[in-house]
Structure 1
Amino acid sequence: MVVDCNKLIVKGSFYRGALRNVVRIIRRCHSQDFGDELDLPHEPRVPETEVNKRISGHEISYANAPDRVMFSANQVGVNRPVEDRQNTLYCRSHYGGTVFTVVDGHGGHACAHAINLLHSDYVVAGMLPPELCEQVLSDLRAIEGTSAPFTSYELFERLWSKPEAIPTGESELDLDLSTSAQPSHRGPFLDKALLRIVFSGCVSTSAYIPCNGKEMYVTQVGDCGAVLGKADSAGGFTLPTDPHNADNEMDVNRLRSSHPTHESAFVIRDDRLLGELMPLRAFGDIRFKWPSEELKHVARLLDLPPNYPIMPAFYATPPYLCSTPQVVWRPLIKNRDHFLVLGTDGLWDMLSPKEVVNVVAQHWFDYNGDPSVCGPGDTAASRLIRTALGGDEMDPERISAHISMPATVARYYRDDITVVVVYLPTAAHSEPRR
């Protein structure tokens, strides 16, 4: 992990405020309907060969082992550095399975990078079978001298369970990062690297498919998203979870009910948490979690000006933000449930869930139900990125225009896009060719 310890960024400008909704509309309009307006006469266009190279450069595809879940993943960035992350974890144990995760950072990449690196460890800690868990705990009891406010032994004791490992692990991960960064737990010293992680933030969506291949768990924190592609009379897709934002009535009610009634008018302002933050659940973002005295103590240690906005306005009864995941379980039905698409909001800004499902379904039919034989640059994940940038026809000129833009201009047209396409064990696909 590369973290600039000399900079601590906590400015409210991280949160795009009311401008974000407008930017989303502009992005979709420019990508879907107004391709001609992407003309950049003063910027040299990237040739198609270079476009193909860049799109396939982050492509990941796995379809070899018959006991594993087939998937493809890809990413195209716009921020410098990219604030999205994704990872795939295969746990080979009695309670094992495959965990797919996409992470979308905001206010910088630090929190997203840390969550992505540590997420797998926390999930695996909860998936160890009893016999192996006892051996690991025995070994960990002998380890001493840690300076952290928690130990690996305590982590295993807290997390051990079955599917609960993912939501419990995610909550504990956020709590441990937050606790480690608090000055009150580190004496008179500040760890600026840790502070930079917890002052930035991220959201995530994970899917856990056990080895039995008969069920699926989806966990969500914030406004990433997932869509299930299936063959039925309900339109061919299902949204396992809804984004945790101001449009989610249940989450808004949860938030308001956890604070005094007189705060209802300003807990959510301009469709944002305390008028600043878009997601209502997130990792990091301790400006919305720590007690006000703790935040003021940090400001004093950093020698910040008295008028520096170390916390949002109307910050009366924290915490206002949580990282507790929403967990959805559903059985997988053979020949009905075909694939699951996980994506950061850069994908959903450009394509609707129905459009995403249609693209992946068409890719499926193009390869006669065996997407493992697709060539480099044409996985389902790559095709989704091409469609997001180039429209239904995947117009090479429009894709090149997006790729050619400087980052300072491109972020007004799109966000980082990260996508994972998971082919479910219940899909009616042919056997992968070897």
Structure 2
Amino acid sequence: MVFVLTVSPRLLYVTNRQLQNSKRLFTNGTSKLFKSSTGALVNASRNSRHVPVKSGGRYFKKRHVAFVSGVIIVGSYITFNHSNYYNLDTAPGSNVNGNGSGFNPKSLPNKGVSAIGEDKRFYSTTTNSVNQDFSLGHQSLKQGVFLLNDEQVSNKLRQFEESYNVHRGKGVLRYDICQLPSNSPIEDDRAEEIVQVPILQDNNIKTSTDWMFFGVFDGHGGWTTSGKLRDQLISYIIHELGTIFKPAKEENLRYVPNSATIDQAIKNGFLKLDHEIVNKNIERLLNDNNKARAAELLMPALSGSCALLSFYDTNSRMLKVALTGDSRALLGSFRDNKWTVRQLSIDQTGSNPTEVARIISEHPDEANVIKNGRVLGTLEPTRAFGDCRYKLSASIQERIYKQFFGRRLPNNLKSPPYVTAEPVITTTKVNPENNDFLVMASDGLYEMLSNEEIVGLVVKWMEKEKMIKPQKSFWNYFSSTENKLPEAVDITSDKSSKQPFRKSRQSSGNGYFLEDKNVATHLIRNALSNGGSREQISMLVSIPNPVSRRYRDDLTVTVVFFGTDSRVQDDGGQLEINSEATAGGVTLAKPKL
């Protein structure tokens, strides 16, 4: 059987954004019970956040790029034998034609396919001289791309998946996590933590609540900033909450503050950590002039990261979502006999009218403060940790670069700071009885799936895992719904967030896969499938990182299931690893400075 792959120049153009219980005491005894993000997974960055894609002297908006506008022809029969081999030496960005576009149509051979053996097919977009350096008399170091078989694809998708059952009787049943790196090392990161807090309610009832934290940190320009957030952000938030949950007269009990005070504490935690990363560390570096510590202190300030943090108070059932950047949180709910999806965070980018108006009001005399949908024409998120190039004065930056290292100043830098780490916080009442669930993910997922598709995929997975019963109606008996996702209505009022753009299929959602025990892995697999194509998944997963960053972003997904379990009493247990939905994850940590 033969697999024939034909690639048009347009397929090779889709580059940058396409296929692209120890105790922790407050003053008087609040204890930290669990931290499941012990080692944090590898993390992935988004290099294309800083500079628009440039090809042949033109800037292309990512929304205008087709997911696969080139033609993929599967000839004869399809097989994923280990012998299939494809060489993609002139993947966009290799600058073959010398003009920066990374692709030269003239370099395509006259015959797209040539045999290399009885059942092998070899495809090259380069001339033979690129593959073999005759002047040096040895083979080139460039390697081909092997198309992975189904088992290898699943192993790679599951490499960093984790799942935990929460035996606390507090309204959270389980949470699943999965990451798929694209950068090397991955620039995304994540963290989860549960803290038990004894409280005294207004009616003098003594009880306890669980503070549940779930964080997704989408780095760009490096992994060091998101690594800082993984290690420190939740601790900063806990410290700030400890100052506002005032101790009661009874030992180890605390009064509960109002919602606005909690919001301010979360904002303070964000801002204080960013001030430590950007201002205090650089001040230490310049004062001490210690070149040995330059990487440790400077790199988290130079790179950047978005931060999406959810804080669930199990006693009040209030879910607070704090966002700095353009990751996204969704709440899926079954209400009024239908599934709904609501965005709990709105993307903060140079394309968001609210964010644009805010920045222009802060810098009214700077015409280029937002250009091409980016801050100063280069940075897409309007809020972020790190990114000191958009926060520090020109004189300080020049001093840093002269004494240590860094990048040149952004154009039009006049009155920094332009970017802030202050989050926007939303508060939502959760109803565990309504099968509510929370989906948090870096923007790599939302580039490929719509809000409705994500909720539909989760609901279909829940039906398959018998977490809920499929919804039946009169019309189900006269039409086949097996190949369709459950309908979800998007009730988000603010529609300014970006829509998925890495798609070629108009009717996405009519095809899907149901083969993962981990729902986060399930979402990533289906996002890569572009509407149900197994070949598409294999192609995207087979491209090694960091080359894969040209075709897809790093992916980090966390899904939290709310609900009640009558078999578990309050405070009845701790976290339990769900082994059938956990393939690894904690075994490979991202480097630490």
TM > 0.5 between the two?
A: yes
Q: Distance in 2 between matches of 1:73 and 1:370?
A: 20
Aligned counterparts of 1:370 and 1:213: Cα–Cα separation in 2 = 25
Q: Please report how far the alpha carbon of residue 391 of structure 1 lies from its aligned counterpart in structure 2 after TM superposition.
A: 3.1
Deviations for 1:314-360, whole angstroms, at most 9, x for unmatched residues? 11111111000000012223544611100001111111111111100
What SS does the aligned partner of 1:49 have?
A: helix
Change (3 A) 1:292 1:98: same
- Corresponding position of 1:204: 307
Is 2:401 aligned against 1:299? yes
Q: What residue in structure 2 maps to residue 345 of structure 1?
A: 443
Q: CA deviation at 1:398?
A: 2.4
Instruction: Tell me the SS of whatever aligns to 1:411.
Output: helix
2:456 is equivalent to residue 318 of structure 1? no
Structure 1: gaps spanning 5 or more residues? 3-11, 137-160
CA shift digits 1:238-277 (9 cap, x unpaired):
1112100122111111111112x221x2100011000110
- 2:351–2:374 contact (8 Å) kept in structure 1: no
- Mapped to 2, the partners of 1:222 and 1:58 lie a distance apart of 24
Contact 2:219–2:226 (CA under 8 A) maintained in structure 1: yes
Q: Which amino acid aligns with 1:243?
A: D
Asked if structure 1 preserves the Cα contact closer than 8 Å seen for 2:432 and 2:562, the reply is no
Q: Aligned in 2, Cα 1:21/1:358: closer, same or farther, shift over 3 Å? A: farther
Select the structure of larger CA radius of gyration.
2
* CA spacing shift, 1:237–1:431, aligned 2, 3 Å: farther
Q: Which residue of 2 aligns with 1:62?
A: 164
Query: CA offsets, 1:162-217, max 9 Å, x none?
Result: 45443221111111111232246751415422111100000021111112162110
Q: Whole-Å Cα distance in 2 between the matches of residues 48 and 227 of structure 1?
A: 30
Aligned twin of 2:553: 415
Cα distance change of structure 1 residues 25 and 99 upon mapping to structure 2, 3 Å threshold: farther
SS of aligned partner of 1:187: helix
Equivalent in 138, 143, 148 of residue 46 of structure 1: 148
Other-structure match for 1:16: 51
1:275–1:215 Cα change, 3 Å? same
What letter corresponds to residue 236 of structure 1 in structure 2? T
Secondary structure of the residue that 2:426 maps to in structure 1? strand
Native 8 Å contact 1:40 1:401 kept in 2: no
SS in structure 1 at match of 2:183: coil
Deviation at residue 54 of structure 1 after TM alignment: 1.9
Cα distance between partner residues in 1 of 2:195 and 2:359:
35
Contact between 1:56 and 1:376, CA under 8 Å: does it hold in 2?
Answer: no
Cα 1:340–1:40, aligned 2, differ >3 Å: closer, same or farther? farther
Cα separation, partners in 2 of 1:213 and 1:397, compared to 1, 3 Å: farther
CA RMSD of aligned residues (A): 3.4
Percent identity, aligned pairs only, is: 26
Whole-angstrom CA distance in 2 between matches of 1:53 and 1:284? 34
Q: Which runs of 5+ in 2 are unaligned?
A: 1-37, 40-46, 75-83, 88-144, 199-208, 253-260, 470-513, 569-575, 579-593
Amino acid at match of 1:89: E
3-state SS of paired residue (2:395): helix
Distance 1:36 1:381, change over 3 A: farther
Contact 1:226 1:342 in 2 (8 A): yes
- The corresponding residue for 1:143 is none
2:439–2:560 contact (8 Å) kept in structure 1: yes
**Structure 1 residues 256-300: Cα deviation after superposition (integer angstroms, max 9, x where no partner):** 1112x221x210001100011000000000000012221122122
Report the CA distance between 1:409 and its aligned residue.
Answer: 3.6
Counterpart secondary structure, 2:315: coil
User: 1:152-231 to 2 correspondence within 5 Å?
Assistant: 162=262, 164-183=264-283, 186-190=286-290, 191-193=293-295, 194-212=297-315, 214-231=317-334
Looking at structure 1, the residues matched to 275 and 64 of structure 2 have their Cα atoms a distance apart, in angstroms, of 35
Pairwise mapping of residues 322-337 of structure 1 onto structure 2 (< 5 A)? 322-336=420-434
The amino acid of 1:62's aligned partner reads: Y
Is 1:242 aligned to 2:346, yes or no?
yes
Q: Which residue of 2 aligns with 1:71?
A: 175
Question: Of the candidates 61, 65, 68, which is equivalent to residue 30 of structure 1?
Answer: 68
Q: Normalization by structure 1: what TM-score?
A: 0.79
1:88 corresponds to 2:88: no
Please name the residue that 1:390 is paired with.
Answer: 529
Tell me, yes or no, if the aligned pair for 1:269 and 1:275 is still in contact at 8 Å: yes
Work out whether residues 370 and 431 of structure 1, in 8 Å CA contact, stay in contact via their aligned partners in 2.
no
Displacement after TM superposition at 1:93 (Å):
1.3
SS class of match (2:235): helix
1:101 partnered with 2:139: no
Q: Conserved in 1, the CA contact under 8 Å of 2:515 and 2:522?
A: no
TM normalised by structure 2 equals: 0.59
| Bigger proportion of residues as helix | 1
| Cross-structure match for 2:17 | none
Counterparts of 1:276 and 1:431 in 2: how far apart (Å)?
53
Offset at residue 235 of structure 1 (A): 6.4
Q: CA 1:40–1:351 in structure 2 vs 1: closer, same or farther (change >3 Å)?
A: farther
Q: CA deviation at 1:425?
A: 3.8
* CA offsets 1:101-122 (integer angstroms, 9 cap, x no match): 1011100111111111111211
Shift of residue 66, structure 1, vs aligned partner: 3.5
Alignment check: 8 A CA contact 2:286 2:400 kept: no
Amino acid in structure 2 at the alignment position of 1:399: I
Aligned partner letter, 1:211 = T
Paired letter, 1:119? L
What CA distance in whole angstroms lies between the structure 2 residues aligned with 1:76 and 1:213? 34
Check whether the contact 1:59–1:377 (CA below 8 A) recurs between aligned residues.
Answer: no
